[in-house]
Chains A and B, each alone.
Chain A
Amino acid sequence: MGDNMTGKKGLGRVDAKLLELLVCPVTKTRLVYDEAAQELVSEAARLAYPIRDGIPIMLPEEARQLPD
C-alpha cells in the first residue's frame, strides 16, 4: 500500500491507481489523471475536476470547462 494520500508521499500526492477508479460524477465515465495539472479530466463531460491538497473535488460546479 504505502503511497496513498496518508502515506509516505505526504499531503498533496494522491495514489494514481485510486484516482483511475474514480468516474465522472455527471457521465459516470472514466477519467484521465493529469498529474502535472493536478486534474481529473472527463472527456465525456468536457470538464476537468481539480485536485486540491490531495483531495479530488468531484463537483461539476468546481470543475474547469474544457475548451472545445
Chain B
Amino acid sequence: MSGGLSSIDSIAVRRAYARWAPMYDLVFGSLVDFGRRQAVDHINARHGRVLEVGVGTGVSLPHYRRDLKISAIDLSPEMLARARARIAKHGLENIEEVAEMDASDLAFEAGRFDVVVAMYVLTVVPDPGRVMAELERVCAPGGEVIIISHFAQDEGLRGWAERKLAPLSAALGWRPDFSRDNVMTRSGLRLVEERRMKPFGLFTMLRFVREVEWAEASPPGEERRVHKRREAAPGRGYNGATLSDPAAG
C-alpha cells in the first residue's frame, strides 16, 4: 500500500515545497490570494466543520469565520510549521487540528466535514482522481467540496499568462496541461458552480455538492437506483445551481 510510485512522487513534491517554503508567500502569495479569499468568503457563509486540504503556509486561516471549526492538512512539514506559527500569532482557536497527510489517503472518517476545500492542490498530486474520491468520502452528504485549480487553456489572455507562468509551474510541479476532466470524476459530486478567478482567469473555482443518497439496498441484478435529493438538509442553505459567467475573468 505504501511505497511504490505515488510515494516517490510525494517525496519529490515535499522536497519542492520544502525549498519554496521560505519564499512561497512572497512569490506566489499575491497570485493565489485572490482565489483563496474568494473561496473563504464563500465558506464563511456556511456552517460546521471545514477541512482545508493543502493549507500550505496557512494564509487563509485567519480569514475563516471564528465559529467554523477548521482542520488543516498538508504534505509538507515545512509549510505546516509556518501555518502553525501563523495560528499562534493570530490566536486562532478555531483551527482545531493541523496534521501532515497525503490528500490521496486522508486519515479522516467518512462524512466528517461540512465543507472540504482544496486550493491549488489537484495539479500537484500524482493521482487527482484518487484525491477527488477522498474529498468526496470525507464530505458529509449535502456538504460541499470546493476546488481551486488551474486548468489548461490555450487561447487569449489566459494562454499568454499561462506561458508566462510556465517556469513557476515547473518549480512547484504544477502541470500546465492539466485538464478539467481530471476532477470531474465523481458521480457523487454534483457541480453547482464554476467561477473563473482573478487575475486573468488563470484559476477556476469549482463548487460541488455531495449528493444525498439513500436506498442502498436494491435487489441484485437490478440497476442500482440512487435517489438524489435536490435540496440539502435544513440549515445547509443550498439553493440550486448558480453557474457564473465563465467568460468573466
Contacts and interface: CB of A to CB of B under 8 A. Distances in A.
Interface residues of A, number: 29
Contact of B100 (A4, A5, A7, A58): A58
A22 B99 contact: yes
Interface residues of B, number: 30
Contacts of B2: 26, 60-61
B106 A25 contact: yes
Interface in A7-66: 7, 11, 15, 18, 21-26, 28, 45, 49, 52-62
A59 B1 contact: no
B108 A60 contact: no
Nearest to A63: B2
Contact of B1 (A22, A26, A49): A26
Nearest to B14: A59
B97 A4 contact: yes
Contacts of B101: 25, 58-59
A11 B84 CA distance: 9
Given A22-B107, A22-B108, A24-B107, A57 B98 contact: no
B87 interface: yes
Interface string B46-81: 000000000000000000000000000001010010
Interface of A: 1-2, 4-7, 11, 15, 18, 21-26, 28, 45, 49, 52-62
The list of the 8 closest CB pairs from A to B, nearest first, reads A60-B2, A58-B107, A25-B105, A25-B107, A56-B99, A57-B100, A58-B101, A22-B107
Given A26-B2, A55-B77, A60-B1, 16 more contacts: A2-B93, A4-B96, A5-B98, A6-B95, A21-B108, A22-B99, A23-B107, A24-B107, A25-B107, A26-B1, A28-B109, A56-B97, A58-B100, A58-B107, A60-B2, A61-B10
